[in-house]
Amino acid sequence: MSLPFLLEIGAEEIPDWMIPGALESLGERFRGLGVPHAALRLDATPRRLVLRADGLAERQADAEERILGPAKTAPAKAVEGFARKQGVRLEDLRVESTPRGDYYTCIRKVEGRRTRDILAEALPGVIRGIDFPKTMYWTGKNGPRFIRPIRWIVALLGDQVVPFELAGVHSGAVTAGHRRLGAAAVPVSISDYERKLRENFVILSAEERRKKIEEGIRALRVTLKRDPALLETLVYLTECPTPILGEFDEQFLALPEEVRITVMRHHQKYFSAEGRHFVAVMNTNADPEGLVRRGNERVLRARFNDARFFWETDQKKKLSDRVPDLGHVTFQEKLGSYLEKTERVVELVRQLGGGEAALRAAWLAKCDLTTELVKEFTELQGVVGGLYARAQGEPEAVWQAIYDHYQPVSMEDSIPRNIAGQLVSIADRLDTLRGCFRVGLIPTGSRDPLALRRAAQGIVKIVVEGRHRLALQDLLGGDQQLAGFLEDRVRFYFREVRGFRYDEVNAAMAAGWNDLVDLEERLLRIQKIRPTPDFEPLAASFKRVKNILRQAEFRGGPALDNRLLETGPERELYEEMQRIAGLPIESVITSLRPKVDLFFDKVLVNAPDEKLRLNRLTLLHNLLAEFSTIADFSEIVTNS
């Protein structure tokens, strides 16, 4: 008989961001039991993790077990004893030959266990094994750990409870409704489980809660900025989500929009709408008297008042007067204060060829770290500095550079909008990388607490997309380890972010990556000529050339002696090389390929005459050198 299964772990409110991972882990642990089942479904609200499966057998299949008894040579008494112990007749014993000799064996039927018993035994381990980034204990020292206290467990196989106990909680068939709207104890069966929850104001499906929020917002007839991350948070923060519309007073429009949005989004979990509206998502079904709306409006007003207080207080001291205060703000314990960092960054911007605006922006960029507004809203660092710089009359190029200098925060983010901002951002990151590498704060594996990978990745993106012609490797302070680290980021950028094929990236980078703009141009060229019919065969020939040179341990030698060239393919190749010297590869590839092919077809490089041999190696060496300025084509992976 095939049975459905339901497991609901009822807990106190689980942090929203941990729920999807916990569900995945629960599914894995359950599958790991090896109990055959059909469809499996995982659901969750803040107060419950739910696993449902179909098609479990009532009993696991019977199996046979072979039991090894005494050796054939054993005394009869021992053999009788064995048979008695196994509950079989003496004549049912068999003799089997094993590598160690002949032994008595018996086959015993092992009856398949009841699935309910297997689950009862295993489920406590499944639940305790769910991965959470952080756990707690609550029943006392050395008690079980979970993300939050477990308060009830529903475990049903068909219409029977799978009985077990965990952290003093006994599994049963009683769930709980919504904290305020539903009943505290709701008896359920597998077939009515979801319906009973719904009657008690719990929407089990995250997808359905998401829809309810989205539809609710549509019904409010406001335009919101799309905010998938916030939506996801609210889906897992509620069991019965209902959006409501709120409004704030016109006076707060004077606060910068960036600050308003941060307060609404990060601090209050509101969607910010156009104009003076916002949308809050309640964990209840209605707000008929408008109490919740008024409450939220009041809170937002207080928050905005606070922000305004900071905004006004901070204005009393100009950014430029705050530079000395940076001496009291630690950048990194081993790397001194932000004042020292600022001085280094200014110097780097100068080296990068930054103009007046870039130098000014570099000088002021970190000053907002001393403002009350940034202490309150750390996520707005940079932005706040830019806003103050604007309010204090700094030129547009300067305030925008300060505003943008933490960009890009991800590979999807855009780079600073003006050159000054780009240079400050590059210099700031370079300084951080150089400093950290110098004092040994180097990322290892997945450990990168100072986000140095992101810093390096940002440099690459800005240099390439801002088209900065820099000798990047000369800016690393001669640190080889840092050069290697940055090289990886360059590779990553062109491969993963820009989608170049890995062998093209290897080929182009083998010809140098000091100037990333040049590298990008070369990559684009390779990408373009790659599909042409002559390219891959030629690349294969280059690989052959490279192998020949390597095997001959030839690293260049005397100049080519053209008197030694044999008439025919060898001379023709030479003349072709003379003809196309300095021409772009795109225009010569078609005429060059047959000459190379013919050369390899007809000419023996390793000629018995040593002089001839060396001359031919020189010819190939020159050929490789001529075309290796855009890429090392031998790195191209070809089908031939």
Partner 1 sequence: MDSFQDIIFKLKKYWAERDCIIQEPYDVEVGAGTMTPETFLRVLGPRPYRVAYVQPSRRPADGRYGENPNRLYKHSQLQVILKPPPDDVIEQYLQSLEAIGIDLRKHDIKFEEDNWESPTLGAWGIGWQVMLDGLEITQFTYFQQCGGIDLDLVPAELTYGLERLTAFLQMRESVYDIAWSPSATYADVRFQDELQYSVYNFEMADVQALWTLFGIHEAEAARLLAAYPKAPDRKRFPLLPAYDQVLKCSNLFNTLDSRGAISVTERQGVIQRVRKLAVGVARAWVDQQNGQFEEAAQ
Q: Among positive and negative, which fits the CA dihedral 378, 379, 380, 382?
A: positive
Report the length, in residues, of the chain: 640
Q: Name which of 379 and 572 has its Cβ closer to partner 1.
A: 379
Stretch that binds partner 1, among 157-165, 295-303, 401-409, 522-530 (CB under 8 A): 295-303
Q: How far is the CB of 374 from partner 1 (least distance, A)?
A: 14
Q: Name which of 139 and 414 has its Cβ closer to partner 1.
A: 139
Q: Does the bond joining 408 to the residue before it have cis omega, within 30 degrees of 0?
A: yes
The C-alpha atoms of residue 262 and residue 614 are separated, in whole angstroms, by 70
Q: Which of 74, 79, 161, 181 binds partner 1 (CB under 8 A)?
A: 181
Q: Name which of 25 and 407 has its Cβ closer to partner 1.
A: 25
Smallest Cα–Cα separation from 339: which of 351, 350, 357, 325?
325
Stretch that binds partner 1, among 50-58, 129-137, 209-217, 554-562 (CB under 8 A): 129-137
Alpha helix stretches (DSSP H) within 439-530 = 452-465, 480-492, 502-510, 516-529
Binding mask 33-62 for partner 1 (x = CB under 8 A): -------------x----------------
Stretch that binds partner 1, among 212-220, 285-293, 539-547, 630-638 (CB under 8 A): 285-293
Stretch that binds partner 1, among 78-86, 89-97, 255-263, 294-302 (CB under 8 A): 294-302
Q: How far is the CB of 140 from partner 1 (least distance, A)?
A: 6
Rg of the Cα atoms in the chain? 36
The C-alpha atoms of residue 441 and residue 433 are separated, in whole angstroms, by 9
Q: How far is the CB of 267 from partner 1 (least distance, A)?
A: 10
Stretch that binds partner 1, among 250-258, 292-300, 457-465, 586-594 (CB under 8 A): 292-300
The C-alpha atoms of residue 343 and residue 610 are separated, in whole angstroms, by 61
Q: Which of 86, 105, 189, 284 binds partner 1 (CB under 8 A)?
A: 284
Q: Which of 41, 89, 218, 328 binds partner 1 (CB under 8 A)?
A: 328
Q: Which of 160, 305, 378, 591 binds partner 1 (CB under 8 A)?
A: 305
Can residue 333 be called a binding residue for partner 1 (CB under 8 A)?
yes
Can residue 148 be called a binding residue for partner 1 (CB under 8 A)?
yes
Can residue 302 be called a binding residue for partner 1 (CB under 8 A)?
yes
Q: Which of 36, 229, 309, 409 binds partner 1 (CB under 8 A)?
A: 309
Residues that contact partner 1, how many (by CB under 8 A): 51
As given in the structure block, the two tokens for residue 243 are 């959006």
Stretch that binds partner 1, among 12-20, 58-66, 249-257, 315-323 (CB under 8 A): 12-20
Which string of b and e fits 309-334 if b means at least 16 CB within 10 Å?
ebbeebeeebbeebbebbeeeebeee
Can residue 329 be called a binding residue for partner 1 (CB under 8 A)?
yes
Q: Name which of 318 and 453 has its Cβ closer to partner 1.
A: 318
Which string of b and e fits 168-198 if b means at least 16 CB within 10 Å?
ebebbbbbbbbbeebeeebebebeebbebbb
Q: Name which of 143 and 556 has its Cβ closer to partner 1.
A: 143
Q: Name which of 337 and 622 has its Cβ closer to partner 1.
A: 337
Smallest Cα–Cα separation from 520: which of 437, 463, 562, 570?
463
Q: Name which of 16 and 479 has its Cβ closer to partner 1.
A: 16
**HSE-CB of 631 using CA atoms within 13 angstroms:** 30
Which string of b and e fits 8-40 if b means at least 16 CB within 10 Å?
bbbbeebbbebbeebbebbbebbeebebebeee
The C-alpha atoms of residue 292 and residue 335 are separated, in whole angstroms, by 49
Q: Which of 232, 287, 515, 626 binds partner 1 (CB under 8 A)?
A: 287
The torsion region of residue 154 among left (phi > 0), alpha (psi -120 to 50) and beta comes to beta
Stretch that binds partner 1, among 116-124, 134-142, 404-412, 475-483 (CB under 8 A): 134-142
If you search the block for the tokens 């373009």, which residue do you land on?
Answer: 528
Q: How far is the CB of 269 from partner 1 (least distance, A)?
A: 8
Smallest Cα–Cα separation from 457: which of 495, 402, 512, 404?
495
Residue 466 backbone phi and psi in degrees, to 5? -90, 0
Binding mask 242-271 for partner 1 (x = CB under 8 A): --------------------------xxx-
Q: Name which of 77 and 141 has its Cβ closer to partner 1.
A: 141
The C-alpha atoms of residue 115 and residue 58 are separated, in whole angstroms, by 5
Q: Which of 114, 179, 211, 276 binds partner 1 (CB under 8 A)?
A: 179
Q: Name which of 25 and 457 has its Cβ closer to partner 1.
A: 25
Torsion, Cα of 159, 165, 169, 174 (10° steps): 0
Can residue 295 be called a binding residue for partner 1 (CB under 8 A)?
yes
Stretch that binds partner 1, among 214-222, 329-337, 425-433, 496-504 (CB under 8 A): 329-337
- Beta-carbon contacts of 621 under 8 Å, excluding residues fewer than 6 positions away, are 549, 554, 556, 557
Q: Name which of 337 and 351 has its Cβ closer to partner 1.
A: 337
Q: Which residues bind partner 1 (CB under 8 A)?
A: 12-13, 15-17, 46, 134, 136-141, 143, 148-149, 151, 179-181, 184, 237-238, 268-270, 280, 282-284, 287-289, 291-292, 294-296, 298-302, 305-306, 309, 328-330, 333, 337
